[in-house]
Structure formats: structure tokens, C-alpha cells
Amino acid sequence: MATQTTDTPVSERLPLSAEEQRLLDEGTLKDHGIQAHPRDFYRAMRKGQPIYHDKGLNSWLVTRHEDIWAVQSDPVTFSVQHGYHEQQARGMQDEFRAYLKEHGGGYFPDAIMSDPPYHTRIRKLMERAFTAHRVKELEPRLHAIVRDLVAEFADKGSCDAVRDISQPLTIRVIVEQMGLDHGMEDKIVEWSMAVTAQIGAMQSRETMLANAAKIAELQQYLIGKMKEREAEPREDMISDIVHAEVTNADGTVEKLTFEEAVSLIRAMVIAGNDTTATAIGNLFYVLATKPGMMETLLEVAEDERKMNRFVEEHLRNEPPVRALSRMAVKDAVVNGTTIPAGSHMLLVYDSGNDDETVFPEPRKFDMTRPNLGRHVGFGGGPHRCVGIALARMEVKLAAQEVARQLKNIKLAIPESEITYLPTVATHTIESLPITYDKR
């Protein structure tokens, strides 16, 4: 018999309007329109069915902040290992894996997308690279990259804020950090989108194979780089991973396997650029559309402490990662709802961040919130985003340089024409034409 897994109380189910009831009856996060503008759907779920079975996705959506927090704090019952690998190329996994084995140098399951205790040792290795203090040391170099990139476009008066600035920015950072080749930036954007699409639950067989071909190309490229660094280490993260040693709980030391190393390097290339680029793209979006946003930014841009709050509230308000997967390994009761063993689940972070019981007036941009650190934009628990400090730094530097170099930022297309990447995993603006003046 299932027991209430979490010690959170069962939340009150609130009466729904006819429209909210209709959303619960007919809505699915698989719907492109809902993906682009999901907040009404989220609110209806939080009020009426906070643990909601989405028939279109055949997933359980966890939508209240408190429930997300509880689920991610129990990584054994709610498995990433199963949730993630189940979601990847969902329904077509055998073909996906076979393709990569044949064309991509191998199928390399994501070592970091695993459960404790295995996860703990892999994770430790990644954590060392990303401490806030280490990222702070990188700041001057990162600042130069961001400043120069914004400067390239400052005179032009218009650009695509996503394709010209946000994506190249995070790619340039990752190229430098990882020790990849300059000139590969466009390829890396393409590869990142292919990897993200595999967990986006929106692929047909044709797009899955097209994406698999790009992932194969990415893997071949990375394996080539790894061989170079194996022979001749440099000051970069590929060298770090290739030569890394992991200390086990019993004190024995071992190297990562080749499969683990490829998967971690691939994860570092992908995880940190698409998501952070999305956060920066969303920043341009709010600066162009939200009254008073630019003024708020200008007030705080040169104050480091206030900038930290600005960035965090932005990440709460417009979290780039929408939802990530878990699988219940046994029957589990969350907030009064039984999730059967083997069920796929999505922790809907941007609903959690919009939960009015935690963040009053959630649509308001309020940097003074006293519980900002509670937001789940980076997830939480042992799988909390490992690149938090680097992501925050990139968003902060982007915001500061926009404030210093640009003014009068406006959308160059009607807001209704903005399109979002068709995926459940992120809330990503595909292209954002803007106009502005040089400051």
C-alpha cells in the first residue's frame, strides 16, 4: 500500500472557474500554445489538481512549490536515473541508442543523470569546477567576453537578442571554459538544440533521427578533443575531466570510464549554454516589454549586492528550465495523490516559481522578496543545477553590459509573434528581434 511519502500536508483543493476546469479537462503541456503561455494552465492545476496526470504526455505534473521541493528532496523514491533516460527519445530509445552506437562513437548514458550513491561520486567531481569562489575568479575574463559581444551590436540599432547575443554569449563562455575551438559556435548551438530536443517529448521519428545525427557529430567532435587532451593536457575543463580521479566512499581512487567522461563533457557543453542563453533571452524580453524593468536595472546595475537580487528574481520570474523528469520507483503519495510505481513525472519549476502561496503576486518583479533563495529555477536537492554560480554570473554580466551600452530596447515584432521552442523541458524564445539605441 502506498503511504504519504512526503511529510507535507495535503493542500486544500480550491474551486475552479469554468475556464480553469476546461483547462484541466482538455489541457496538456504537449500543446504548443500552452507551452508558450502556460501560466493559466499551471494555476488551474495548482488550485484544483496540484499533482496532475497529463494525458497528452502520460506524465504526472508536480506543480506546487512545496510538492516540488518534497519530491526533489527524495532522490531515491523519485529517480532521475529512470526519469531522465525514460524521457530521452521517449518511445524510440532502442533506435536512438543504436544510431549513436553506429554513428556517434557509442551510446553514452548521462552519468550525472543518475541516482545516489553512484550519482554522489560523479557529482562531487563536477562541483569542484563550479564553486562560487572559482567562478568569481573567472569574472574578469567572462566580463571581457560579454562586454565585447554587446559592443559588437551596440552601434547597429537592431539585432536578434537571442541569436546574435544570448546564444553566442553562453557559447563563447563554454568554448573558452571547455577548451573547444573558436569558430565552432554555430555548430554548438545546433548540437545543443538537438540534445535538448531529445528530452523535450515533442519529436517525431524523423526529427529524432535528425537530432540523433547531430548528437553523433557532437560526440565525434568531443571524443577527438578528449584524445588531444589525453595526450597533451591544457588548462581547460576537458583536460580536467579526462584526467579526473574519483574518490569512492571506501577511500579507493579510480578514474572515470571513457563512457562517463564523454557523457560529462557532453553534459557540460550542453547544460550550461542553452539554459543560460534562455535566461538571457528572457531578460531581453522583459526589458523590452515590462514597464519599469529597464529603470529598475539601471538603478541597480553598478551595485553588486543588488544585482545578485536582480538576477535571482529574474530567474524566479522567468525560469529558463520549465520542467525536468523523475520516475516514481514505487507507489508514492504526494500531496494526497497516489503516483503509481513506474510513472513518469515532471517537476514543473516555472509553476513552482509562480506559486502565490510562496511568492505573493508572483508575476510582479520584486527584488526585495525575503525568500528569493527558495525559488526552484535551479531545481533543488542533490540534483540542484551544478552550474548555478556560473549561470548567475553570466546573467549578471549580460544585464550589466546591456545597462551600460544600450537604451530604449523595444521589440521589433509584435509580442504575439514571438515563438517558443516546442519542448516541455525549457521555456525558450526562439528568436527575439529588437531595436535599441547606443547609450
Partner 1 sequence: MGNLKVTMTDVNGVSKTFDGVEEGTSLMELGKQNDVAGIMGDCGGGCACATCHVYVNGDWFAKVGEPDDIEFAMLDMVADVMKENSRLGCQIKMSPELDGLEVTVAPASSY
Closest contact distance (angstroms) between CB of 386 and partner 1 is: 7
Q: Is the peptide bond before 117 cis (omega within 30 degrees of 0)?
A: yes
State the minimum distance, in angstroms, from the CB of residue 357 to partner 1.
6
Q: Which of 312, 372, 321, 375 is nearest to 65 (CA)?
A: 375
CB of 128 to partner 1, least distance (A): 8
Cβ proximity to partner 1: between 227 and 384 the closer is 384
Site residues (CB under 8 A) for partner 1, limited to 302-361: 304-305, 308-309, 312, 357-358
Kindly write out the interface string for residues 70-99 of this chain, putting x where it contacts partner 1 by CB under 8 A and - elsewhere.
---x--------------------------
**Does the footprint of partner 1 cover residue 12 (CB under 8 A)?**
no
To the nearest whole angstrom, how small is the minimum distance from the Cβ of residue 334 to partner 1? 17
The stretch near partner 1 (CB under 8 A) out of 22-30, 102-110, 325-333, 364-372 is 364-372
Which of 233, 248, 244, 247 has its CA nearest to residue 268? 244
Given the C-alpha cell 557559447, which residue does it identify? 171
Q: Rounded to whole angstroms, how far apart are CA atoms 414 and 422?
A: 20
Candidate ranges 103-111, 141-149, 377-385, 407-415; the one touching partner 1 (CB under 8 A): 377-385
For residue 198, the Cα-to-chain-centroid distance in whole angstroms is 14
Residue count at the site for partner 1 (CB under 8 A)?
32
Number of other residues whose CB lies within 10 A of the CB of residue 148: 11
State residue 59 phi and psi, 5-degree precision. -135, 150
3-state helix, strand, coil in the chain (%, to 5): 55, 10, 35
Torsion angle in degrees (nearest 10) through CA of 350, 355, 361, 363? 10
Report the DSSP pairing between strands 406-411 and 332-334: unpaired
Position 380 contacts partner 1 (CB under 8 A): yes
User: Which of 281/379 has CB closer to partner 1?
Assistant: 379
Q: Near partner 1 by CB under 8 A, which window of 173-181, 197-205, 262-270, 386-394?
A: 386-394
> Which one, 379 or 422, has the nearer CB to partner 1?
379
Assigned C-alpha cell, 342 = 513506474
Exactly one of 53, 103, 187, 374 binds partner 1 (CB under 8 A); which one?
A: 374
Q: Of the candidates 415, 271, 352, which has an alpha carbon nearest to the alpha carbon of residue 429?
A: 415
In the bound state with partner 1, the residue whose beta carbon lies nearer, of 223 and 334, is 334
Supply the minimum distance, in Å, between the C-beta of residue 364 and partner 1: 17
CA atoms within 13 A on the CB side of 268: 28
Closer of 29 and 386 to partner 1 (Cβ): 386
Cell numbers at 248, concatenated: 569512492
What string marks each residue from 291 to 310 as x (binds partner 1 by CB under 8 A) or -?
-------------xx--xx-
Asked whether position 8 contacts partner 1 by CB under 8 A, the answer is no
Q: Are 332 and 344 in contact (CB under 8 A)?
A: no
Taking alpha carbons only, the member of 327, 213, 188, 323 closest to residue 268 is: 188
Cα dihedral across residues 430, 432, 438, 439: positive or negative: negative
Burial of 54 by CB count in 10 Å (0-12 exposed, 13-18 middle, 19+ buried)?
A: buried
Among 251, 291, 292, 373, binds partner 1 (CB under 8 A): 373
Q: Give the nearest distance from C-beta 346 to partner 1 in angstroms.
A: 20
Task: Give the x-and-dash track for 33-72 against partner 1 (CB under 8 A).
Answer: --------------------------------xx------
Sole binder of partner 1 in the list 370, 414, 415, 416 (CB under 8 A) = 370
Q: Left if phi > 0, otherwise alpha if psi is -120 to 50, otherwise beta: which for 280?
A: alpha
Smaller CB distance to partner 1: residue 132 or 151? Answer: 132
Nearest alpha carbon to residue 390 among 130, 76, 79, 59: 130
Provide the mask over 120-139, with x wherever binding to partner 1 is found by CB under 8 A and - wherever it is not.
---xx--x--xxxx--x---
The stretch among 143-151, 152-160, 201-209, 388-396 that binds partner 1 (CB under 8 A) is: 388-396
Interface positions with partner 1 (CB under 8 A): 65-66, 73, 123-124, 127, 130-133, 136, 304-305, 308-309, 312, 357-358, 370-374, 378, 380-382, 384, 386, 388-389, 392
